[in-house]
Amino acid sequence: MCVSAENKVVDKATAAQKATTDYVKALAEQSAINRKYYSLRDKVVNTKSDSQDMRNQVRDLENNIDKTNLALYMQEKMAKLLNSDVVCKATKECGTGAR
């Protein structure tokens, strides 16, 4: 083999090795990008899930507050009704009725 042919073979081998090295570097960079992407995606998914859990808890709390407020309102109205003159008169009149 002549020197010129050997140089071409060496050049091709060097180019192939460089291409392989560049390809491996690109794969490593892509892998790092993928890891960052999936990590970020997982954080977003977890944040959405946490956010939904918080919304559910707030909704449940609002429902409990509404029920408590309604119960307090009804207790206040019943207390006013039971302490009113109308109930006192009705009971006295009914109490004196035919028994």
Residue 1 lies in a domain: no
Domain membership of residue 10 (yes or no) is no
Q: The pTM is what?
A: 0.47
Query: Count of domains in the chain?
Result: 1
Residue 55, both tokens: 């919304």
Position 31 in a domain:
yes
Q: What residues make up the domain containing 56?
A: 15-95
Residue 54 lies in a domain: yes
| Alpha-carbon distances, residue 42 vs 34, 35, 37, 39, 50 (angstroms) | 12, 10, 9, 5, 12
For 33-55, give one letter per residue: b (16+ CB within 10 A) or e.
eeeeeeeeeeeeeeeeeeeeeee
Q: What tokens appear for 49 in the block?
A: 């899930």
**Is there a domain that residue 21 lies in?**
yes
Using CA atoms, how far apart are residues 84 and 79, in angstroms rounded to an integer?
A: 8
For 39-87, write each residue's pLDDT tens digit: 999 999 889 889 999 999 999 999 999 999 999 999 999 888 887 777 7
Q: What is the pLDDT of residue 1?
A: 53
pLDDT in the model for residue 98: 47
CA angle 30, 33, 34 (to 5 degrees): 85
**Residues 94 and 88 sit within 8 Å (Cβ to Cβ):** no
